[in-house]
Amino acid sequence: MIRMLDHTADVGFELKAPTLEAMFDEARRALLMTVFERPPRSGEDEDSVRLSAPDLETLLVRWINELVFLIQGDGFVPVHADVRIEESGGEGFSLEASLTGASLDVEGHGWQGEIKSATFHRLDVTNESGCWQAQVILDV
């Protein structure tokens, strides 16, 4: 589940999902909803992402920033992600994702403007009664 937030200077979203992987995928969807009026639904390009981080909050920030880079830097819009997250032996977490994407079409997708970065402000990843939740503020 995605709930868009309206921070005075920036934008953000609240995420809820039954698994950690699903919550990270919701972050991808929320990002597309933020930067596009009409996000593409299908694509034929492929890419992959591998990340690691000392905690889940940092992993989520890095994941969003990686997707921002793919969209704004490479013109690759990730329309589907197969996300796998593992705890790496007490040293944090690692993420691998296989992405399917479409080429960025600024006009066709209704580009809404750049994201500078995901922030750590008020960022919290929690698991309550089997439901993963997070809140993310983006600097735009």
Partner 1 sequence: MNIEHVSEFKYRILKEGKMRVDAAFYASEGILEDLRSEDYASLKQICNVAMLPGVVEPALTMPDIHWGYGFPIGGVAAFDPEDGGVVSPGGVGFDINCGVRLLISELSRKDVDPSEGRLVEDPQRIGLADTLYESIPSGVGKGRKDTGFVREDLEEVLVEGAGALVGRGYGEPKDLENIESEGRLPSANPKGVSNRAYQRGVSQLGTLGSGNHFLEVQYVDEIYDEEVARAYGLSEGKVTVLIHSGSRGLGHQVCQDYVERCMEAAKRYGIELEDRQLAAAPIRSPEGKAYLGAMAAAANFAFANRQLITHFTRKAFRRAGFDSEAHHLRVLYDLAHNNAKFEEHGGREVLVHRKGATRAYGPGNEELPERYRSVGQPVLVPGDMGRYSFVLAGTEGAMSETFGSSAHGAGRKMGRRAAKKAAKGRNLRRELEDKGILVRAANRATIDEEMSEAYKDAAEVVDTTDRAGIGKKVARLRPLIVVKG
Positions that interact with partner 1 (CB under 8 A):
4, 6-11, 37, 54, 57-58, 65, 69, 72-73, 75, 104, 106-107, 110-114, 116-117, 119-123, 137, 139-140
Angle between helix 56-72 and 20-35 (nearest 10): 40
CB of 110 to partner 1, least distance (A): 7
Which C-beta is closer to partner 1: that of 112 or that of 126?
A: 112
Residue 12 C-beta: closest distance to partner 1, Å:
9
- Closer to partner 1 by CB, 6 or 128: give it: 6
Q: Under the phi-then-psi rule, with left for phi > 0, alpha for psi from -120 to 50, and beta for the rest, what region is 123?
A: beta
Q: Do the beta carbons of residue 120 and residue 88 sit within 8 Å? A: no
Burial of 5 (0-12, 13-18, 19+ CB in 10 A): middle
Q: C-beta of 130: minimal distance to partner 1 in Å? A: 26
d(CA 5, CA 96): 28
Of residues 82 and 126, the one with the C-beta less far from partner 1: 126
Minimal distance, residue 81 CB to partner 1, in Å: 20
Q: Which residue's CB is nearer to partner 1, number 5 or number 22? A: 5
Q: How far apart are CA 3 and CA 115, in angstroms?
A: 18
